[in-house]
Amino acid sequence: MTYTALAPVTVADFKKMDIDWSGHLDHDIPNYWEIVVDLSVTVGIYQDGELLCFAGGVPDGTGILSLYFITSKRINELRTKKNIIRYAGTGLQILQRYFNPHRIQCIVNPENAFHVSFVEHFGFKCEGILEFYTSDGKSAAMYARRGFQ
């Protein structure tokens, strides 16, 4: 297996990815993720040319960086979570250096144990639950940490 960490992600790569949406929060905006991938700084982890996951950041212009992390169904099959966390840590450092935020935040599905443990591993703390966050009434958890670490 050949890993290429932190390669730029294109919309074409994203569209080919078999995403595990089961643990993610839904978005009602058509083509939402294609727009995010196209307009933000997004890096992916590839194995033998296949996009396994990607992460990125959207700055708000006031020093706050909103992160996202999307995984494919193959993550569980390949048991590569340890490598994913290592590469994601490097990706987080790169995004932090690039944007130099004072705050980094992400919204997580509180029912997705992997995503919760993932963000907590990188020092994010839960600030609270956002009730009725999705159009179908599901809640989300807001996690944040200081930048400049």
Task: Confirm whether 127 is domain-assigned.
Answer: no
Would you place residue 149 in the very low, low, confident or very high pLDDT band (cuts 50, 70, 90)?
A: low
Task: Confirm whether 114 is domain-assigned.
Answer: no
Parent domain of 11: 3-105
* Tens of pLDDT, residues 26-83: 666 667 777 777 777 777 777 777 887 777 888 888 999 988 877 777 776 665 667 6
What is the average pLDDT across 86-110? 85
Task: Confirm whether 138 is domain-assigned.
Answer: no
User: How far is residue 149's CA from residue 134's CA, in Å, rounded to a whole number?
Assistant: 31
Task: Confirm whether 135 is domain-assigned.
Answer: no
pLDDT of residue 125: 97
Contact 107, 64 (CB under 8 A): no
Task: Confirm whether 140 is domain-assigned.
Answer: no
Task: Confirm whether 118 is domain-assigned.
Answer: no
pLDDT of residue 12: 81
pLDDT of residue 126: 97
CATH of the domain at 44: 3.40.630
Task: Confirm whether 112 is domain-assigned.
Answer: no
User: How far is residue 143's CA from residue 104's CA, in Å, rounded to a whole number?
Assistant: 9
Residue 2 has pLDDT above 70, yes or no: no
pLDDT of residue 39: 74
User: How far is residue 27's CA from residue 25's CA, in Å, rounded to a whole number?
Assistant: 7
Q: Which long-range contacts does 80-83 make (Cβ < 8 Å, 24+ apart)?
A: 80/47, 80/52, 81/114, 83/3, 83/45
Task: Confirm whether 101 is domain-assigned.
Answer: yes
Number of domains in the chain: 1
Residue 22 has pLDDT above 90, yes or no: no
